[in-house]
Chain A
């Protein structure tokens, strides 16, 4: 078991996806915060910064890639690993281009997500 629980922030506009990811990641021993809205990111403060962020590309009115670009351009957040997922398999290149650390195509296997998280956290 980890000495200190790692915090993962998951942002997706689909509540079902948030629900099962939250459950699964908790079972794996992570502390999980989920948000449907991208604005949640703005409310993060120093002591609540996650150790890893999982974020969808299309977020009902917001482009997840814009958020990642901003996170990666700010000194306080640029170190946080970001994994993006999308139902567009072609999105991988654009996602990596904005600075995301990894990409997972939807629909994904749980094991695939867990493996990727483990490599970045």
Chain B
């Protein structure tokens, strides 16, 4: 809602919520009271501001391209200046004067004009003219009621009552006809005249009155409702007048008010009280009902210079100023007219501001609608909580669907006492955290629905300020299904690996039996074959275990044992085992430390096996793999270097991702599941170590990983 404050400044609250406002108030220098025209050296109009449509009813596009003589009155038009090629010299640099411009209906309207010769200015090359309205037609009759209805608060100055009653009866009469509700607070005399005029215009006042569509009140009765010690009392004013507006609002969608209370105060010689009352009226626009307020002042109130300032103040308090009837005659254009004209322009700037605010409101409405739509249709449950009171101020349909509570049962509730967050300790903690922390997040938070079931949600809370209020926005994404699927997948992989291992166990068992028999018979060849089979069965077992590990890592179920062990020993053992499986490569253990580490010996062994097997696999033309160990005071470093195909820089980070495979043609000839490095780096990470690779394509690769030393290891390292 547009709000007019007495100092013409944008309401600070609006300013906060509307970043657009600043930009808009510094918008183009054009306004509705001024026409800007650019004319080229040949007198052709190249640009005209859109204000021409409101001032002269012509469309800008109908004027652009025409000669300037079609717009200017022949008497004001200096042919010599615009004709021919001598324009550049003929037009002086800057000139001011009064001009008549042609209205679309053929009539002529007076403007104050200013002309600047910018023909020689690069990038402009035109004569710029600005025409500012001064003609009497622009001052009074142009302000049709239809325009004024959209205005919030306007003032009419008048010299005789008949003129005023004419205006007011038109204002109220059209309102009653179109279904608006009307309130009149006027002097007894004006009330009688007004009602007589309305009846004469065919308005059924009795009926309107019976329907509460027409509320009339004597000005003194009105004032008595809220005046205290000669000044209007804000609380009483808003109760009395606000109440009246509320009553009327139930009858009509828009409300028109004619009020003379301010004028009465003015007449009584209480200008301060009058100005204060105008301000209170303006404050009433904060209430949710739309109304137009018509104020009137007899011109005699402003007789004499001393009232000049007060007159100006009154004008400034209104969005629109309608000068008194004496200005309808062109013959009377004089200093007072000019004074009024400038006041009108002051009010005009308010009209422009109202326009801007309306635009801003529209924008706000658009963005509000957009937000609302998002809010209402979001699949995620959204819950808005007041940070001070902890009461829920809004929920979207997804929340009510998820939790099974109707919206009304959630609104204005403090969730702390509800069973939603109370069923489990983690949920209590999460809710407390959401209320206290700027933001929080839970991947799978159990919430209890109305019928007592537990739903798992991804819970995210954010605290922010909106309209000067701290609010907490919580989003709830139902992950029960995902959790269930994860569980099923986990069970499946677990079961699958069990099913795969059972035949492998049998294969291995019978193989062992055959091996024993062959050993007795001393058949070396058979024994060799059986050893190969055994090795392949071990590889198969390792693959099955990898799949199982990967699934367990994802669900956080991989169990790590913790023990202190000598890494040297483990490395020697693994290197020896792998060496047995390869005839193509020599594994060279170059350097060792005597460091002890704390962790899962078997899992670290798995990392070493994986890295050594990779080193062999990806260096088919090489014959060496180097293993080095080193330590500092804090950690131990293990490096495994091969001389194989190498890895391009682009893949250095990604090779540790799950299922990642380097897909270049050469690498495609090395099949694998793409899970070994992912598992290895996760194991190292869980031991608070790091894993990385140094490599260039075609130049081999060195995989490094670190593990923290035990306290004992650190003590030894410092010796």
Q: Beta-carbon contacts of B494-518 to A below 8 Å, as 1s and 0s?
A: 1001100110111111101100100
Residue of chain A at shortest CB distance from B512: A110
Cβ B505 vs Cβ A106 within 8 A: yes
Give the interface residue-count category, chain A.
10 to 19
- B504's partner among A21, A58, A107 (CB-CB below 8 A) is A107
Given contacts A14-B502, A106-B501, contact A90 B557 (CB under 8 A): yes
B559 within 8 Å of A (CB atoms): yes
Cβ A87 vs Cβ B502 within 8 A: yes
- A106's partner among B502, B516, B548, B557 (CB-CB below 8 A) is B502
Complex CA distance for A101 and B118, rounded to whole angstroms: 104
Cβ B501 vs Cβ A87 within 8 A: yes
Contacts of B545 in A (CB 8 A): 89
Complex CA distance for A16 and B512, rounded to whole angstroms: 13
Complex CA distance for A8 and B30, rounded to whole angstroms: 104
User: Looking at B504, B508, B545, which has the most chain A CB atoms within 10 Å of its CB?
Assistant: B508
Complex CA distance for A33 and B494, rounded to whole angstroms: 30
B614 within 8 Å of A (CB atoms): no
Complex CA distance for A33 and B283, rounded to whole angstroms: 98
Complex CA distance for A20 and B541, rounded to whole angstroms: 19
Cβ B548 vs Cβ A89 within 8 A: yes
Cβ B504 vs Cβ A24 within 8 A: no
- Chain B residues 95 to 129 lying within 8 A of chain A, measured CB to CB, are none
- B508's partner among A27, A87, A90, A108 (CB-CB below 8 A) is A108
User: Looking at A20, A23, A58, A107, which has the most chain B CB atoms within 10 Å of its CB?
Assistant: A107
Complex CA distance for A88 and B501, rounded to whole angstroms: 9
- Chain A residues 82 to 116 lying within 8 A of chain B, measured CB to CB, are 87-90, 93, 106-110
Cβ A107 vs Cβ B508 within 8 A: yes
Cβ A20 vs Cβ B512 within 8 A: yes
Contacts of B498 in A (CB 8 A): 58, 87-88
Contacts of B507 in A (CB 8 A): 107
Cβ A107 vs Cβ B505 within 8 A: yes
Given contacts A90-B559, A93-B559, A109-B512, contact A20 B506 (CB under 8 A): yes
Contacts of B548 in A (CB 8 A): 89
Complex CA distance for A93 and B558, rounded to whole angstroms: 13
Contacts of A106 in B (CB 8 A): 501-502, 504-505
B531 within 8 Å of A (CB atoms): no
- Chain B residues 506 to 560 lying within 8 A of chain A, measured CB to CB, are 506-510, 512-513, 516, 537, 541, 545, 548, 552, 557, 559
Least CB distance from A91 to B in Å reads: 10
Contacts of A110 in B (CB 8 A): 509, 512-513, 516
- B506's partner among A17, A23, A27, A88 (CB-CB below 8 A) is A17
Contacts of A89 in B (CB 8 A): 545, 548
Complex CA distance for A107 and B498, rounded to whole angstroms: 10
Complex CA distance for A23 and B537, rounded to whole angstroms: 21
Given contacts A87-B502, A88-B498, A90-B552, contact A109 B513 (CB under 8 A): no
Contacts of B505 in A (CB 8 A): 14, 17, 87, 106-108
Residue of chain A at shortest CB distance from B494: A88
Cβ A16 vs Cβ B516 within 8 A: no
Q: Beta-carbon contacts of A22-44 to B below 8 Å, as 1s and 0s?
A: 01100100000000000000000
Least CB distance from B497 to A in Å reads: 7
- Chain A residues 45 to 93 lying within 8 A of chain B, measured CB to CB, are 58, 87-90, 93
Residue of chain B at shortest CB distance from A27: B516
Least CB distance from B636 to A in Å reads: 26
Contacts of B537 in A (CB 8 A): 107
Complex CA distance for A106 and B541, rounded to whole angstroms: 9
Least CB distance from B381 to A in Å reads: 35
Contacts of A108 in B (CB 8 A): 505, 508
Cβ B506 vs Cβ A16 within 8 A: yes
- B501's partner among A20, A24, A93, A107 (CB-CB below 8 A) is A107
Contacts of B508 in A (CB 8 A): 107-109
Cβ A16 vs Cβ B557 within 8 A: no
Contacts of B494 in A (CB 8 A): 88
Given contacts A89-B548, A106-B501, A107-B504, contact A16 B559 (CB under 8 A): no
Given contacts A87-B497, A88-B494, A89-B548, contact A21 B502 (CB under 8 A): no
Least CB distance from B563 to A in Å reads: 14
Complex CA distance for A16 and B509, rounded to whole angstroms: 9
Contacts of A88 in B (CB 8 A): 494, 497-498
Contacts of B504 in A (CB 8 A): 106-107
Q: Beta-carbon contacts of A1-26 to B below 8 Å, as 1s and 0s?
A: 00000000000001011001101100
Complex CA distance for A16 and B503, rounded to whole angstroms: 9
Contacts of A21 in B (CB 8 A): 509
- B509's partner among A24, A58, A93 (CB-CB below 8 A) is A24
Cβ A17 vs Cβ B557 within 8 A: no
Least CB distance from B562 to A in Å reads: 13
Complex CA distance for A59 and B346, rounded to whole angstroms: 94
Contacts of B513 in A (CB 8 A): 20, 23-24, 110
Residue of chain A at shortest CB distance from B545: A89
Least CB distance from B543 to A in Å reads: 12
Residue of chain A at shortest CB distance from B498: A87
Contacts of B509 in A (CB 8 A): 16-17, 20-21, 24, 107, 110
Least CB distance from B500 to A in Å reads: 8
Contacts of B559 in A (CB 8 A): 90, 93
- Chain B residues 574 to 603 lying within 8 A of chain A, measured CB to CB, are none
CB-CB nearest 4 A-B residue pairs? A20-B509, A87-B501, A107-B505, A110-B512
> Can you report 28 A-B residue pairs in the complex whose CB atoms are below 8 A from each other?
A14-B502, A16-B506, A16-B510, A17-B502, A17-B506, A17-B509, A20-B510, A20-B512, A20-B513, A21-B509, A24-B516, A58-B498, A87-B505, A89-B548, A90-B557, A90-B559, A106-B501, A106-B502, A106-B504, A106-B505, A107-B501, A107-B505, A107-B507, A107-B508, A107-B509, A107-B537, A108-B505, A110-B509
In the complex, besides A14-B505, A24-B513, A24-B516, 10 extra interface pairs with C-beta distance below 8 angstroms are A16-B509, A17-B502, A20-B506, A20-B513, A58-B498, A87-B498, A89-B545, A106-B501, A107-B504, A110-B512
